């Protein structure tokens, strides 16, 4: 999925959410105002009905009847209040009879209840429009909002639910796009990673064949040991890739108790032989410091941490390996003076296939499984691995393993 396609989908989803929210808001607004309009229509219909019943029963059609209208507010109320109850209205009201020629109030009725939301209606009493009835009645807006409350809540719930679903879909699509990019990087870089031990083994074999290295027993033994070590590393790498990226199996571990200092020394020596950069190692570990773990996997993890420290550093690299006991744990630290890792990326570096963007550094290769593999193995040991880093100040990876190996 390319960036433009993903952006267009995101804009479409956001637009759809805005339109949906707008439609829901208009729907709720119209539902509320329909209730208000219905209330006023019922009030007007009831008032007209009561006026004709109370004031104009003796009116003769076609004859000026202002003089024939009998205005009696008490009689009007006898018709008006039952008619209001018939249409389910029980609100306080005030009435004024007005002389429309002079504007003078001729009669009035005042309720003893408070009218909080008054609405005024004006009705002609006679056909000559000489007299008018002014009705001021309380409009129960709170009741109308209460009636549409569940509509509002359901609309909000629907919008929130759909928004959550769409946001989840966008995040899933983004993660899929990121995963696709990581897997492409994995396919592109794994070839380089697998070629390294093969190249070393081929070089050692070529030295024995073409430069008479096999004539010297000591050199031959050293080269054969190098070939064996590289092939073992290659086999381990392939097995780990299969374990963590293909079928998700747990890594097989053979737990033994061994001293850490020889492991640290042999690991740094092997890495130093194959580096073109100037790498300075500093090992801070007592000769008696021991740990119970799988030696092969721990060596591979340390190699990964050191290799990353070298790759993501300048031309001059200083790496400090420190091992010590802390409470019921054995702690191993790998500290470098490299480029550092931002806080944003620190949260993801132990995820499968994740690689920290290197900007203009194009020669750094990897398959995004090294730190995931390290995290998986250390957790399988019952320990923990973490990172502390600042941009431009380097990084410190800390491994904690149970002293008793459980």
Query: What integer pLDDT is reported at residue 362 of this predicted model?
Result: 42
Q: What are the phi and psi torsion angles at 118 (to 5°)?
A: -75, 140
Query: What integer pLDDT is reported at residue 3 of this predicted model?
Result: 64
In this structure, which long-range contacts are made by residues 346-350, counting pairs with CB atoms below 8 Å and at least 24 apart in sequence? Answer: 346/387, 346/389, 349/387, 350/374, 350/375, 350/385
Q: Of the candidates 301, 326, 329, which has an alpha carbon nearest to the alpha carbon of residue 397?
A: 301
Report how far residue 207's alpha carbon sits from residue 378's, in angstroms, rounded to the nearest whole number: 38
* Sequence ranges of the domains in the chain: 3-147, 255-402
Query: What integer pLDDT is reported at residue 293 of this predicted model?
Result: 92
According to the CATH classification, is domain 255-402 in 3.30.565.10? yes
Query: What integer pLDDT is reported at residue 181 of this predicted model?
Result: 67
Instruction: Supply the Cα-derived Rg of the chain in whole angstroms.
Output: 43
Q: Which residues, in sequence order, are bridge partners of residue 284?
A: 322
Query: What integer pLDDT is reported at residue 289 of this predicted model?
Result: 92
- Tokens (6 digits) for 106: 């001729």
Element (H, E) at 387: strand 384-390
DSSP string, 249-290: PPPP---EEEEHHHHHHHHHHHHHHT--SEEEEEEE--TT-E
| Inter-residue contact 299 to 263 (CB < 8 Å) | yes
SS3 113: coil
pTM for the whole structure: 0.48
- Tokens (6 digits) for 252: 């097989």
Query: What integer pLDDT is reported at residue 367 of this predicted model?
Result: 56
Report how far residue 59's alpha carbon sits from residue 64's, in angstroms, rounded to the nearest whole number: 9
Element (H, E) at 396: strand 394-402
The tokens 């931002």 sit on which residue? 342
Query: What integer pLDDT is reported at residue 22 of this predicted model?
Result: 85
> What is the end-to-end Cα distance of the chain in Å, rounded?
45
Average pLDDT, the chain: 81
Tabulate helix, strand, coil % of the chain (nearest 5): 55, 20, 25
| Inter-residue contact 185 to 355 (CB < 8 Å) | yes
In this structure, which long-range contacts are made by residues 354-357, counting pairs with CB atoms below 8 Å and at least 24 apart in sequence? Answer: 354/182, 355/182, 355/185, 356/312
Q: What are the phi and psi torsion angles at 334 (to 5°)?
A: -125, 110
Report, as ranges of residue numbers, the positions in the chain whose pLDDT lies below 50. Answer: 59-63, 65-66, 247, 360-362
pLDDT, tens digit, 9 for 90 and up, residues 149-197: 787 788 788 878 888 887 787 777 777 766 666 666 666 666 666 776 7
């Amino acid at each position: 999925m390319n960036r433009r396609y993903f952006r267009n989908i995101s804009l479409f989803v956001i637009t759809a959410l805005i339109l949906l929210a707008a439609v829901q808001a208009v729907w709720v607004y119209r539902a509320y105002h329909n209730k208000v309009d219905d209330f006023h229509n019922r009030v007007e219909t009831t008032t007209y009905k009561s006026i004709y019943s109370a004031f104009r029963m003796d009116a003769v059609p076609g004859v000026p009847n202002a003089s024939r209208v009998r205005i009696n507010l008490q009689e009007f109320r006898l018709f008006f209040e039952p008619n209001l109850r018939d249409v389910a209205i029980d609100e306080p009201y005030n009435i004024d009879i007005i002389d429309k020629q002079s504007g003078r109030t001729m009669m009035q009725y005042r309720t003893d209840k408070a009218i909080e939301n008054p609405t005024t209606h004006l009705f002609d009493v006679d056909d000559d429009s000489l007299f008018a009835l002014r009705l001021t009645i309380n409009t129960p807006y709170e009741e109308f909002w209460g009636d549409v409350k569940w509509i509002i809540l359901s609309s909000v719930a629907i919008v929130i639910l759909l928004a959550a679903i769409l946001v989840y879909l966008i995040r899933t699509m983004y993660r899929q796009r990121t995963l696709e990019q990581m897997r492409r990087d994995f396919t592109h870089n794994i070839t380089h990673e697998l070629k390294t031990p093969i190249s070393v083994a081929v070089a050692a074999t070529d030295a024995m064949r073409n430069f008479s290295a096999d004539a010297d027993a000591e050199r031959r033994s050293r080269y054969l040991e190098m070939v064996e070590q590289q092939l073992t590393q290659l086999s381990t790498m392939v097995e780990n890739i299969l374990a963590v990226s293909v079928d998700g199996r747990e890594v097989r571990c053979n737990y033994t108790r061994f001293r850490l200092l020889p492991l640290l020394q042999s690991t740094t020596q092997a890495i130093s032989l194959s580096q073109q950069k100037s790498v300075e190692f500093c090992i801070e570990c007592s000769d008696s410091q021991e740990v119970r773990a799988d030696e092969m996997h721990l060596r591979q993890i340390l190699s990964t941490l050191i290799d990353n420290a070298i790759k993501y550093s300048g031309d001059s690299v200083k790496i400090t390996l420190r091992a010590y006991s802390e409470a019921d744990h054995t702690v191993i630290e790998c500290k470098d003076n490299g480029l550092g890792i931002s806080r944003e990326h620190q949260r993801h570096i132990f995820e499968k296939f994740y690689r920290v963007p290197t900007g203009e550094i194009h020669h750094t290769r990897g398959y995004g499984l090294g730190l995931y593999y390290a995290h998986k193995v250390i957790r399988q040991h019952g320990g923990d691995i973490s990172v502390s880093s600042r941009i431009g100040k380097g990084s410190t990876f800390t491994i904690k393993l149970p002293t008793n190996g459980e």
